[in-house]
Amino acid sequence: MVKRAGASPAPQASPAPQAKPVRPGEAVELAVWKALRGVHDPEILPLSITDLGIVKDVRASDERVEIDLLPTFVGCPALDVIREDATKAALDAAGDRQVTVRFVFSPPWTSDRITPEGREALRSYGLTPPGEGGHRSTFIPLVTLERPEGGVTCPFCGSEDTVLESAFGPTLCRTTHFCRACRNPFEGFKPKLAG
Ligand SMILES: [Zn+2]
């Protein structure tokens, strides 16, 4: 579907003198970013993919829009859904441009990329944001023989008197914990560190 000439409205003259020259495509890129804010992690609905920090780059030219996403946990089944949803959302903002969404692996996504809004969304969903409760960062080796205690804050009562039940929660990116203070089980979003 390449249909360019005359299809989009003529670019409007800027209403006010611009301090900096606007790159061609920049307005489209901003519109796409905005649209991507409405795409949510299918496994954690309050969390948008921009707040999760997986949108690395949006580039727009006259013909196409390219979106680079950083996968969180490779093999996460949500990735296909996210790709589809991001494509759909971007199509609206892209006008006649062709939209390509691809996963890139550099730089690797780390949980540091989650925005403060994203951490709030995790908490509202009952998931403890990674790296919180902080004296030690909870590195979780692939095989956990002992059950590390404490160090993760309960999203319900705020206590740190918690125990890691399983490094493998219901999805790849989650861990399961138990709070000894309020006796609630809860899940954590697995920290992922660089290096
Ligand atoms: Zn608790």
pLDDT tens digits, one per residue of 132-186: 654 444 444 444 444 455 578 888 888 888 888 777 666 677 788 888 889 888 8
Ligand 1 centre to CA of 159 (Å) is 5
pLDDT at 132: 67
pLDDT tens digits, one per residue of 88-146: 999 999 999 999 999 998 888 888 899 999 999 998 888 888 876 544 444 444 444 44
pLDDT at 21: 57
Mean pLDDT of 8-14: 50
Look up residue 48 and give its amino acid. Answer: S
Q: Is a pLDDT exceeding 60 seen at residue 7?
A: no
Structure tokens at 100: 């390509």
Pairing of strands 98-103, 185-189: unpaired
Ligand 1 centre to CA of 114 (Å) is 23
Ligand 1 centre to CA of 172 (Å) is 23
* pTM for the structure as a whole: 0.65
Contact 49, 121 (CB under 8 A): no
Mean pLDDT of 54-77: 89
Ligand 1 centre to CA of 157 (Å) is 4
By the CB criterion, residues less than 5 angstroms from ion ligand 1 are 154, 156-157, 159, 179, 181-182
Q: Which of 162, 127, 163 minimizes the C-alpha distance to 146?
A: 163
Ligand 1 centre to CA of 187 (Å) is 11
| Residue predicted with more confidence, 1 or 150 | 150
Q: Which of 89, 82, 70, 113 minimizes the C-alpha distance to 32?
A: 89
The total number of residues written for the chain in this structure:
195
Look-up of token digits 């970013």: 33
Spell out the domains of the chain, with CATH numbers in brackets: 26-103 (3.30.300.130), 126-189 (no CATH)
Which residues is 176 bridged to in the sheet? 166, 187
Ligand 1 centre to CA of 131 (Å) is 17
| Residue predicted with more confidence, 55 or 8 | 55
